[in-house]
Chains A and B, each alone.
Chain A
Amino acid sequence: DGGITQSPKYLFRKEGQNVTLSCEQNLNHDAMYWYRQDPGQGLRLIYYSQIVNDFQKGDIAEGYSVSREKKESFPLTVTSAQKNPTAFYLCASSTTREGSGYTFGSGTRLTVV
């Protein structure tokens, strides 16, 4: 079955370390997204990519970086420049057709200590 795989589910890192979150999809979707969720807030867009080798900043891109070398993969790196990295991170994908539905991963909960 097609879907999105995020790994790992839980991740612990020491402050000051970079960490990379994995997101893989086998849905043949062109567009992929990274969102951050904090308690009491709606999901916020970090980065998105509509095509391989291209990506755009979302609303809260500072302290994050991404790459899109393959259609199936859109890894997110949380750098040491991110002031409050502890959060729940969700990956999603869609086609680029207007009115396309979205498919979501199961998320990665990152805790920085």
Chain B
Amino acid sequence: KNEVEQSPQNLTAQEGEFITINCSYSVGISALHWLQQHPGGGIVSLFMLSSGKKKHGRLIATINIQEKHSSLHITASHPRDSAVYICAVSGGGADGLTFGKGTHLIIQP
């Protein structure tokens, strides 16, 4: 069973700062997902990646398959980025995701 670890658990930063959230997993995967959860609870999928790097607006996600490690970066952070960011992995097939515990990010104005 895959173990997914995220760090840090909590992160408070000032508006404009560059943010990095890390995720590591223990067993080979078919894909890694970065998700965003706002206080209301609903989850939005930000990225799904199996290699390399993806960028969407101010968000960048990278993955190193050999190291079993992924990072989520936020450039020019803004208070509206405040949310819980969750890393999840899938092992192939359709038997669901294994989730990290999430990183609670607060961006102060």
A→B interface (CB under 8 Å): 30-31, 33, 35, 37, 40-45, 48, 50, 56, 58, 88, 90, 92, 94-96, 98-107, 109
Contact = CB atoms under 8 A, between A and B. Distances in A.
A42 B30 CA distance: 20
A102 B97 contact: yes
Contact of B42 (A45, A50, A56, A104): A104
Contacts of A102: 33, 45, 97
Nearest to B92: A98
A89 to B, nearest CB: 10
Contacts of A103: 45
Contacts of B97: 33, 43, 45, 92, 102
Contact of A42 (B40, B44, B86, B92): B86
B95 A98 contact: no
Interface of B: 4, 30-31, 33, 35, 40-45, 48, 50, 86, 88, 90, 92-102
A41 B98 CA distance: 12
Given A42-B102, A98-B30, A99-B31, A105 B96 contact: no
29 contacts: A30-B94, A41-B101, A42-B100, A42-B101, A42-B102, A43-B86, A43-B88, A43-B97, A48-B96, A50-B95, A88-B41, A90-B41, A92-B97, A96-B93, A98-B93, A99-B31, A99-B50, A99-B90, A100-B94, A101-B48, A102-B33, A104-B35, A104-B42, A104-B43, A104-B44, A104-B45, A107-B41, A107-B42, A109-B41
